[in-house]
């Protein structure tokens, strides 16, 4: 009975990624977080090292690895910084996989290959000021005009949105038909250098401050015909596919972050003394951490089952929704338990635990809120 999904090759990859993360990411995270910015160079370096295309086929500019190599990457980044994991995962698990899955050779050459090299930065554009998880209600629309599409509308809360070179975007390409609201949606690769595309606001957030989250505005952006990704009118189905990989990706680095936070809390509990003994020797503290460790272990076991299914090409909507929901819930409880264990030290600005406490909250909102996951599950279970 094999007890780990990872091989020696994965272990080697892990140490390479870890070295990069520890020398080029970890020392700067506090500063980036305070500034609310980070250098584009992070993408370029990750691309140079081959980290942005680990599970993409070589023919498309990737490393040709299996999904477990992507797991290694997200875990190693996730244990150091959730926001950096997020911005990289937007690139590797959200903006680019649809290009490989639905794109033409030309689109792969034009957008995917440079993105995997870290030369182009991508974002995923779904949410709008008036609609999020209810994708069928999007209003941003593109109309055919000769050989071109004319794009109008806005997108909100777009991670990497202020710096992106392209946005993999869902857009309405026909009148909203209430009997089939999913029918007239298509995907486009939107070149952000085109006239009419503006970043109207970089949003100030409570946590994950280093990442740019933007409000985007499109005013008569003229897209060439070859900007259409996949099949016209199939955008809803295509974005649902994208969300699977997205939810597994955020689940993986969410679990890795939670484990790092647990370790930080345990270390603190072992060294901090009160009333003459380490606080970790009090059952009230050690049992709380034992409960958190248990919850973490259970959720991770489910996430790994999802990774296994995804690696085998199984479209496991139920397990993935469960994992996404479970990770958000668990990591929020766990990071709060870590803050509580550390007392005042857990509240000092700029420290690992306080920073992640602020940032983890997005896990229950982004990529489909807790309530949306429950609704998906209720439907799959035949309840709704």
Q: Which residues bind another protein (CB under 8 A)?
A: 1-3, 5-7, 10, 66, 68, 266, 269-270, 277-278, 280-281, 283, 285-287, 289-291, 293-295, 297-299, 301-302, 304-305, 308, 311-312, 319, 322, 325-326, 371, 373-375, 377-378, 381, 383-384
Min dist. Cβ of residue 351 to another protein (A): 21
User: If 0-12 CB within 10 Å is exposed, 13-18 middle and 19+ buried, where does residue 225 land?
Assistant: exposed
CA distance 118 to 122: 9
Q: 150 forms bridges with which residues in the sheet? A: 143, 222
Min dist. Cβ of residue 320 to another protein (A): 11
Identified catalytic residue from 242, 246, 295, 319: 246
Tally of CB atoms within 10 A around 276: 6
CA distance 46 to 70: 13
Report the residue number, 26 or 293, with the smaller CB distance to another protein.
Answer: 293
Report the residue number, 178 or 283, with the smaller CB distance to another protein.
Answer: 283
Sheet strands (E) in the chain: 122-125, 141-145, 148-159, 166-172, 185-191, 197-202, 213-224, 228-229, 273-274, 277-278
Element holding 325 (H helix, E strand)? helix 317-342
Rounded (10°) CA dihedral 39, 40, 43, 45: -70
Report the residue number, 144 or 287, with the smaller CB distance to another protein.
Answer: 287
Min dist. Cβ of residue 185 to another protein (A): 26
CA distance 32 to 368: 27
Min dist. Cβ of residue 338 to another protein (A): 13
Report the residue number, 203 or 315, with the smaller CB distance to another protein.
Answer: 315
Residue 246 annotated among the catalytic residues of the structure: yes
Q: Which candidate, 47, 174, 160, 64, places its Cα nearest to that of 113? A: 47
Report the residue number, 11 or 34, with the smaller CB distance to another protein.
Answer: 11
Min dist. Cβ of residue 266 to another protein (A): 5
CA distance 33 to 350: 8
Active site residues: 246
């Amino acid at each position: 009975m094999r007890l780990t999904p990872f091989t020696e090759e994965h272990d080697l990859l892990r140490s390479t990624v870890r070295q990069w993360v520890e020398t080029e990411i970890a020392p700067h995270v506090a500063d980036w977080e305070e500034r609310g910015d980070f250098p584009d160079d992070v993408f370029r370096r990750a691309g140079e090292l081959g980290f942005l295309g680990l599970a993409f086929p070589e023919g498309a500019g990737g490393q040709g690895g299996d999904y477990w190599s992507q797991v290694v990457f997200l875990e190693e980044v996730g244990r150091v910084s959730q926001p950096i994991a997020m911005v990289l995962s937007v690139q590797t698990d959200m903006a680019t996989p649809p290009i490989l899955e639905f794109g033409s050779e030309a689109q792969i050459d034009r957008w995917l290959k440079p993105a995997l090299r870290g030369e182009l930065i991508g974002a995923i554009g779904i949410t709008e000021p008036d609609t999020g998880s209810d994708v069928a209600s999007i209003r941003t629309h593109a109309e055919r005009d000769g050989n071109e599409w004319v794009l109008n509308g806005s997108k909100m809360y777009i991670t990497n949105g202020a710096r992106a070179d392209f946005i993999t975007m869902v857009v309405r390409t026909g009148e909203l038909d209430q009997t089939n609201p999913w029918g007239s949606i298509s995907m486009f690769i939107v070149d952000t250098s085109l006239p009419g595309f503006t970043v109207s606001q970089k949003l100030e957030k409570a946590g994950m401050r280093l990442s740019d989250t933007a409000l985007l505005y499109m005013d008569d952006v003229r897209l060439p015909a070859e900007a259409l990704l996949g099949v016209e009118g199939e955008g809803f189905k295509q974005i649902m596919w994208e969300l699977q990989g997205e939810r597994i990706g955020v689940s993986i680095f969410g679990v890795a972050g939670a484990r790092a936070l647990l370790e930080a809390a345990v270390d603190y509990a072992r060294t901090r003394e009160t009333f003459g003994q380490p606080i970790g020797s009090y059952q009230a503290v050690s049992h709380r951490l034992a409960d958190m460790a248990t919850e973490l272990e259970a959720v991770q076991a489910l996430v790994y089952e999802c990774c296994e299914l995804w690696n085998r090409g199984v479209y496991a909507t139920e397990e993935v929704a469960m994992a996404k929901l479970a990770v958000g819930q668990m990591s929020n409880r766990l990071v709060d338990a870590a803050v509580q264990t550390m007392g005042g030290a857990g509240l000092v600005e700029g420290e690992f635990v306080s920073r992640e406490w602020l940032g983890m909250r997005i896990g229950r909102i982004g990529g489909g809120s807790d309530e949306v996951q429950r609704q998906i599950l209720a439907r799959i279970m035949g309840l709704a």
